[in-house]
Structure 1
Amino acid sequence: MSASIILKNIFEFAKILNRASHQSVTHWDDQSLRNALDWADYCQELFHQIKGQEYEEDVNSQLSQMAVFLNPVSCLRLSVDTLGCARTQLVQTLMSNTKFPPLSQKKLISILQRSPDGVRVLEEVQKKCSDKCLQVCTDLLNSLTDRCHASYLQNIRSDYQAQVLLHNLVAALQNVQKVQRFEKYCCNVYNKLAETQEGWNILVCLFTVDVCGLPCSEAMVQEKVLKDFLSRMTQEIKQDVVASYLWSVPIDVLIKASSISEQFFLTYLDALVALGDSFSPQIDCRGFISWR
């Protein structure tokens, strides 16, 4: 089997894994579950064929870029090593998805309990879910921006979420050469984050992530991602400065981001000036002045 066909097949599993964390699982039937598990088993077989081979690094490079092509937008991370636990990844994604129907959960558990390996996977996933561990979120982006459906994330600070998210973004984009593809993916991720107040909290926290210790290549990608996001934030704030989610971001987060990132500080300062310009003095019958 050629390398292109193998990568194409792995991408099919990536699409399944991506859909497993979204609402589309409500339409999965028994056959869909079996097919998904078969794809996971296929990827685990590939792991044994690829691991340790001289072309493993090249395969890793290709896998890291797959998230860029997924729809809905995703920060899914794939590597040769993750192929080795593909079934576990799939099961934990399904079990942590609140949209996964209870009847389908029972069917999945029934399938897994038919083999010792399935029982092992089930026990491992159930432990992670019971520990409310962030690792149960295979589709990190979807989980971070949908906290009302991810109760195990509600006590995790936005700065930590931003750190994990940015790490995944850099991993997905560091091997992307085409500028248009890079910008399109950044746009899709930004739009997903910008939908909610929680997403804006995370967006601002991205500018507090330390680049110290990062390899030069990763630091450059991180800088490009933040520059792209900041440009989009600036445009959105200008469209309606008064209604911007920016003003609901905790002030300590805004101060920290401003103290670390000069570019964010300038954007924040411009937003404050624009907000001030939008107010006008109102004098009541007693001569008191208020600003609205």
Structure 2
Amino acid sequence: MAEKMKTLLDSLDQFIKVLALAQSVHAKDWDIQHVQRALDWGTYFQHVHHRFRTDNPVRSTIETQITERNKELSRYIENYNPIMFDDLHNGRDILCMSLLQNKALPDPTFKYVTELLRNADSKSGESTCSTHIISQKVVSELFLSLPLLAFEKLHELLDNPVLMTQADLLRSSLEKRLQLSEDRQKPSVVSEFLGQISKPRVYHLIEAILLSNEALDLLSDLLLDWVQSDDDHCVGFFMNVNCQVLARLSFMTSKFRNVYINHLVKLGSSMAQDVTCGKWVSDTFKLSFDGLLDHYKHLMEEPEDVKDFVLSNLRTLKSQDGNYDVSGISVWTDILAEIHKT
């Protein structure tokens, strides 16, 4: 019995160290196999907790060992999170939470752990209450801790595993909430959920969800409705999402296209010629003439119906400004001239 207890306590030491490593920079070296072995340890100590939770002598021995290891590790690890005997029951969940909160974790390993949580949460017959709660907590905390992102090209966004995983988690969580809501409640559910995510993070998550769909579904419609429901949302979305993405969304839905074009018209209409430098500038929006032109150039790369719509709109605006062909008089004349050059 003494030999078995020594083996158990030695194994416990190793598991506690594994939990500590999951919170440290050393997680940068973890691959999927490391995670799988650590989860096996977690499963083993779930059984240990179940077997000895009412066995006072053994439980006391285990608790003493845990206390000693906590004291030892706290001396070497800043902000070390000590564990208790009852934490062994949720060892797998604690491990996953620690890894997902650790910025040092490699992207493929991060994605593997989030998939584990999502799969466990979706199997309601097999998942435990703690797994469900911890996965929901992970979702919320990940949204709020997502680092600021900037993407120059569309493929950079779609190839970013962290962002796409975050977007998948947001989609999954929203879809579950929407399934439990009546139709009239769905917009407020989306608004409430998105309202918890800081800006501009929320805009990048929305664009990732929208672009991951070949066709717009109910959730996509609700996300676009949220963007279009408020001037601040609209301006924030258009200013933080790159032109290529906005052009793609304009092709996917005419409703979005109309809102986007109206926004571009506001941008252009706010511009005036600065006679000192001979450039179009805006006192209302932080966007240069070249920035506005970039939006229109990307729209010209879309299918013919989008191009025709945009060109028709620009010609109407030019006509309303006096239909001048001389540069420097109408911003719309100059936009059209630059587009025709390309």
- TM-score normalised by length of structure 2: 0.40
**Structure whose alpha-carbon radius of gyration is higher:** 2
